Amino acid sequence: MQSIASKIDHTLLKPDATPAQIESLCKEALSFGTASVCVNPIYVPLCHRLLANSSVKVCTVVGFPLGASTSKSKAFEAAEAVSLGASEIDMVISVASAKAGDKNALVDDIKAVEEASSGAIVKVILEACLLTDAEKVLVCEAALEAGAHFVKTSTGFSTGGATVADVALFRSVVGDKMQIKAAGGIRTYDNALAMLSAGADRLGASATALILAEESRRAGRI
């Protein structure tokens, strides 16, 4: 059975993360064979250098963690990140627009980032813990319309993280037209499997080592 490592964005977004910690993150990602590392924008150049000629992508965040910056500033962030070596952009939506039911504003916000990302993968972070189910559906529809590649559950910095129910709801809206990233609070192998079973294609996790150690233990590899 293939390891779930290839579905994980190995993540370190703490504001006090040091360069040495980011270097360790990249070394772990290479060892584990994760899909990407997900880091704050200041560390994109370092990760790009450390992960050159590997299959591990560099993912960064835009409008993070509140999503309350302007679409123009998010677009600038995205374009700069791609120019520095990011190939995946995780953007936070305007939660205020979602709460107001303003689909056009959501589409414009997402599209601004998508167009500025020059073909990079764009993941749209809903911050689902702050939204009703109807608002989550609205954002998923807006992300589809704007041409994004993923919808993502959470930043991991608000009042809640990924839930199986949210992943299943997202899948019911986007079908096979978009991918889904579950992130926020995924710390066990069982929880990771539950997210994947509900329809997630990618997982954001800082507890990657713990998750994969349990996977190996159950497979009898350790």
Using a CB cutoff of 8 Å and minimum separation of 24, what contacts does 184-191 make? 184/153, 184/154, 184/155, 184/156, 184/158, 184/160, 185/154, 185/156, 185/160, 185/161, 186/161, 186/162, 186/211, 187/211, 188/214, 189/214, 189/215, 189/218
Using DSSP's 3-state secondary structure scheme, residue 148 falls into coil
Query: Which residues belong to the active site?
Result: 90, 152, 181
Q: How far is CA 79 from the centre of its chain?
A: 17
**Helix, strand, coil share of the chain (percent; to 5):** 50, 15, 35
Measure the CA–CA gap between 79 and 88, rounded to whole angstroms. 11
Residue type, 86: A
Measured CA to CA, the distance from residue 144 to residue 20 in angstroms comes to: 38
Residue with token string 């993280």: 161
- Could you tell me which of 34, 39, 83, 38 has the C-alpha nearest to residue 54? 34
